[in-house]
């Protein structure tokens, strides 16, 4: 898994282990990811931009590691006038728990919005779930990291713990100790609380970019 990988994946795996880039206000520029995806990732005091743009061109746009690399004007400049700037998400991680899987594979879920959204950004999708709570998608995501997302079948009453229990069961699908990541909108407070309650920790923020630039 950790052989010939995108350099961003190494930084994400380091962050999952508590090893971060220095909080010096700088921005590190890396190559774009396979499939034409680019991104801006913010850690505490340090930004990382994966793009086809040359480093000098990125730095000329004036980003910094104290939030400037996530600023709307900077992201629009990176994407180009008609490129797609994705949502700002909190980046969360924790190790898998392994053991006997608590969820079964789901078939016939290709048309589900959560699965379609995941397929647009990720590869090697595996879909699990149960009729009572919802579904889980495990896939290879940003820079090749293992990503987890969930979707409840219906919005439950606050406090019933369906989201947390689904995430906890999903962690049994990941080998013990292997880091798994989740990207959650900060405005989706219920989902964010569920992931935090299941032991995920925030390590930064991210925005995925689909560029469209003039030749």
pLDDT of the residue at 130: 82
The SS3 of residue 58 is helix
Tell me where in the chain the CATH 3.40.630.30 domain(s) lie: 91-203
Contact 169, 198 (CB under 8 A): no
Range list of β-strands (E), 9-133: 27-30, 38-43, 46-50, 84-85, 89-95, 104-105, 123-130
Cβ(138)–Cβ(130) under 8 Å?
no
Distance CA 38, CA 31 (A): 8
Q: CATH fold of 91-203, please?
A: Aminopeptidase (3.40.630)
CA angle (24 as vertex; 204, 4 as ends), nearest 5 = 60
With a cut of 90, say whether residue 111 has pLDDT above it.
no
Query: For residue range 170-206, what is the model confidence (pLDDT) as tens digits?
Result: 999 999 999 999 999 999 999 999 999 999 999 999 9
Residues 35-84 have pLDDT tens digits of 889 999 999 999 999 999 999 999 999 999 999 999 999 999 999 999 99
Q: How sure is the predictor about 158, in pLDDT bands with cuts at 50, 70 and 90?
A: very low
Average pLDDT score, the chain: 90
Which of 50, 38, 91, 48 shows the shortest CA–CA distance to 68?
48
Average pLDDT over residues 24-45: 95
Least confident stretch, 15-19, 136-140, 155-159: 155-159
Among residues 179, 203, 184, 205, which one has the least CA distance to residue 194? Answer: 184
Please give the DSSP secondary-structure letter assigned to residue 176: B
């Amino acid at each position: 898994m950790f052989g010939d990988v995108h350099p961003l994946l190494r930084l994400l795996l380091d962050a999952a282990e508590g090893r971060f880039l220095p909080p010096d206000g700088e921005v590190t520029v890396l190559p774009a990811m396979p499939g034409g995806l680019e991104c801006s990732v913010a850690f505490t005091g340090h930004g990382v931009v994966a793009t086809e743009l040359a480093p000098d061109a990125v730095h000329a746009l004036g980003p910094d590691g104290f939030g400037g690399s996530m600023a709307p004007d900077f992201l629009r400049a990176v994407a180009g006038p008609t490129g797609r700037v994705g949502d700002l998400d909190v980046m969360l991680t924790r190790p898998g728990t392994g053991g006997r899987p608590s969820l079964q594979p789901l078939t016939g879920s290709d048309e589900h919005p959560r699965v379609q959204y995941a397929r647009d950004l990720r590869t090697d999708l595996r879909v699990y779930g149960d009729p009572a709570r919802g579904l889980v998608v495990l896939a290879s995501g940003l820079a090749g990291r293992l990503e987890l997302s969930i979707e409840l079948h219906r919005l439950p009453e606050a406090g019933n713990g369906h989201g947390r229990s689904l995430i906890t069961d999903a962690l049994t699908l990941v080998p013990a100790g292997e880091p798994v990541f989740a990207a959650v909108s900060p405005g989706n407070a219920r989902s964010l609380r569920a992931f935090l309650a299941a032991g995920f920790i925030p390590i930064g923020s991210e925005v995925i970019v689909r560029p469209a630039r003039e030749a």
